[in-house]
């Protein structure tokens, strides 16, 4: 079982819709959670971090964390074609706080 | 402010040859990471440095991979000898506090023939 799991997709949504990306993790004591965006052929870039249960909003992005369920999600409102990318969930795990990435979910926003 | 700089961007070698990758992190970032990324997969940690000290190298294949970070700034990752399965993108990243908010370089794409 992978330590950080994501649906690989691909996920397609129409322009203007809400895209919902999900991630589960295995380490119950993890405290730090991150979403990275990776365009094709490019390196990952940080878009959101979340440390407490609940929602955190930043522009069109909302990260949601539920530590009891070991679940973190990313919502993208008013999706744009420029949001088409692979979204990587990352979790600081273990006593060494090793940042572990999921395999990513490929999102396509259709014009 | 300059970002994380990596070189070379691309490298093609034959198996059993050595290869080295270089990384210059963002100024002031104490934590440096080397990740490996295969196509369609997320980055996998090879080694993490806090200043000069390698604090997590549990995933580094030490029989053929080595890394160093002299003076706590630049870092070099070496593979000797390279195998076909080493073909991947090698990503360097840095962070200020080692808390997971990473800044990645453009990566070094290795092809082993």
Q: What is the per-residue pLDDT across A19-53, written as a single tens digit (0 to 9) for each?
A: 999 999 998 888 899 999 999 999 999 999 999 99
**Preferred mutation among B42, B46, B53, B91 to probe A, highest tally of A CBs within 10 A:** B42
Render pLDDT for B11-63 as a digit per residue (tens, 0 to 9): 999 999 999 999 999 999 999 999 999 999 999 999 999 999 999 898 999 99
Nearest to B110 by CA among B93, B76, B85: B85
Surface of A (17-46) touching B: CB under 8 A: 32, 34, 36, 42-46
CA B42 to chain centre: 14
CA distance B83 to B86: 5
Phi, psi of B70 (to 5 degrees): -75, 140
* Tokens 């200043």, residue located: B51
Calculate the alpha carbon distances from B38 to B86, B88, B108 in Å: 9, 5, 12
Confidence of residue B1 (pLDDT cuts 50, 70, 90): low
A77 touches chain B (CB under 8 A): no
Q: Sign of the C-alpha dihedral, residues B98, B105, B85, B17?
A: negative
Contact across the interface for B104 and A45, Cβ inside 8 Å: yes
Question: Would you mind telling me the total number of residues written for chain B in this entry?
Answer: 113
């Amino acid at each position: 079982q992978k330590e950080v799991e994501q649906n690989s997709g691909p996920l397609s949504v129409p322009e203007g819709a809400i895209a919902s990306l999900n991630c589960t993790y295995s380490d119950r004591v993890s405290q730090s959670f991150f979403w990275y965006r990776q365009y094709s052929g490019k390196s990952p870039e940080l878009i959101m971090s979340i440390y407490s249960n609940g929602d955190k909003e930043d522009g069109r992005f909302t990260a949601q964390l539920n530590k009891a369920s070991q679940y973190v999600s990313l919502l993208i409102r008013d999706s744009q074609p420029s949001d088409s990318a692979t979204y990587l969930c990352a979790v600081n795990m273990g006593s060494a706080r090793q940042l572990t990435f999921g395999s990513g979910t490929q999102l396509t926003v259709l014009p | 402010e300059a970002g994380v700089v990596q070189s070379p961007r691309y490298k093609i070698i034959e198996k059993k040859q050595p290869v080295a990758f270089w990384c210059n992190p963002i100024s002031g970032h104490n934590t440096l990471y080397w990740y490996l990324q295969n196509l369609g997969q997320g980055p996998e940690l090879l080694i993490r440095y806090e200043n000069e000290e390698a604090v997590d190298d549990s995933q580094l294949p030490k029989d053929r991979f080595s890394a160093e970070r002299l003076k706590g700034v630049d870092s070099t990752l070496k593979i000797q000898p390279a195998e076909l399965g080493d073909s991947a993108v090698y990503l360097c990243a840095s962070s200020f506090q080692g808390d997971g908010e990473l800044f990645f370089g453009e990566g070094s794409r290795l092809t082993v023939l």
